[in-house]
Structure 1
Amino acid sequence: MWRELIEQHTSQARFASPVTEQALFQVEEALGHLLPDDLVKLLGETDGVIDANGYNLVFSAEQLLQGNLEMRTYPALKRLYMSFDQLLFISDAPGDGNLFAYALVPEGRPDIFVWDHRTDNRRCVAPSLEHFIESWLTGHIQL
C-alpha cells in the first residue's frame, strides 16, 4: 500500500528492504514505547524512503532509533528546547533543520507535526502519515 501510494506521486523515490520484526521490537524497546501502526506497516514494506532529491521522506528504523535517542538525551538540546520525549521524529525537512514527528501524547494520535529548530514551535502539518507523504510529494507541506 505505501509503495503504491508513493509511486502514484513519484517514480524517483528509493525504497529499502522491509525492516524485520526483531529490528522494530528493538527500536520500540530502546525508545520505551510502541511505534504508530501506520509507521510499522510502512517500515514493513520498506525500511525508510528517500525522495527524488535525496532527502528522508521517512527515516529507516535505525535512523528513527538513533535520531530520537539523540534528540531526547543530548545535553545541549535539553538546555535549549522543551523535552522531545513526547515526539517521535520520522523525517527531516530538506535543508533547514526542521523535523517531522508524531506526537506520542495522547497515545494513538495519528497527526504529523513539524518541529521548528529556530523557535522550538511544534505545529500540526498533516492529519496522518498518508496525508503527510502525499503533501510532501505534491509540495503542499507548509513549514
Structure 2
Amino acid sequence: MWRELIEKHTPQARFASPAAERALRRAEETLGHLLPDDLAELLGETDGVVDANGYNLVFSVEQLVQGNLEMRTYPALKRLYMAFDQLLFFSDIPGDGSLFAYALVPEGRPDVFVWDHRTDGRRCVAPSLEHFIEAWFGGDIRL
C-alpha cells in the first residue's frame, strides 16, 4: 500500500528492502516506546524512502533511531529547545533543518507534526502518515 501511494506521486522514489521485524522491535526497545502503526507498516514494506532529489521522505529504521536519540540527548539541543522526548522524528524538510514527527503523547494518535528549528514551534500538519504523504506531494503542507 505505501509503495503504491508514494509511486503514485513520484515514480522516481527509491525504496529500500523491507525492515526486518527484529529491527523494528529493537528500535522500539532502544527508543523506549512503540512505533506508530502506520510508520511500522511502511517500514515493513520499505526501510526508508528517498525521493527523486535524494531527500528522505521517510527515514530508515537506523536513521530514525540515531536521529531521535541524538535529538533527545545532545547537550546543545537540550539548552536551545524544549525536550524532544514526546516526539518521534521520521522525515526532514530538504535544505531547511525542520523535521516531521509524530507526537507520542497522547498515545495512539497518528497526527504528524512539523518542528520548526528556528522557533522551536510544533504544529500539526496532517492527521495521519497517509495524509502527510498526500499533502507533501500535493504541496499542501505550509511551513
TM-score, normalised to structure 1's length? 0.98
Deviations 1:77-123 (A, max 9, x none): 00000000000000000101000000000001111000000100000
Structure 1 residue 61 corresponds to structure 2 residue 55: no
Deviations 1:47-85 (A, max 9, x none): 000111111100000000000000000000000000000
Aligned AA (1:99) = L
User: Matches of 1:46 and 1:74 in 2, distance apart?
Assistant: 28
Percent identity reads: 83
Listed as ranges, the matches of 1:20-59 within 5 Å are 20-59=20-59
Deviations 1:3-47 (A, max 9, x none): 011111111111000000110111000000000000000000000
Listed as ranges, the matches of 1:123-138 within 5 Å are 123-138=123-138
Listed as ranges, the matches of 1:84-99 within 5 Å are 84-99=84-99
Kindly state the Cα deviation for residue 134 of structure 1 after the two structures are TM-superposed.
1.0
Aligned AA (1:111) = D
Listed as ranges, the matches of 1:70-89 within 5 Å are 70-89=70-89
Aligned to 2:110: 110
Unaligned runs of 5+ in 1: none
TM-score, normalised to structure 2's length? 0.98
Task: Give 3-state SS (helix, strand or coil) of 1:76's partner.
Answer: helix
Aligned to 2:15: 15
Task: Give 3-state SS (helix, strand or coil) of 1:134's partner.
Answer: helix
Runs of 4+ in 1 over 4 A off after TM superposition: none
User: Matches of 1:8 and 1:65 in 2, distance apart?
Assistant: 28
Q: Larger RCO: Structure 1 or Structure 2 (Cα < 8 Å, ≥ 6 residues apart)?
A: 1
* Number of residue pairs the alignment of both structures matches: 143
User: Matches of 1:51 and 1:130 in 2, distance apart?
Assistant: 16
Kindly state the Cα deviation for residue 136 of structure 1 after the two structures are TM-superposed.
1.2
Unaligned runs of 5+ in 2: none
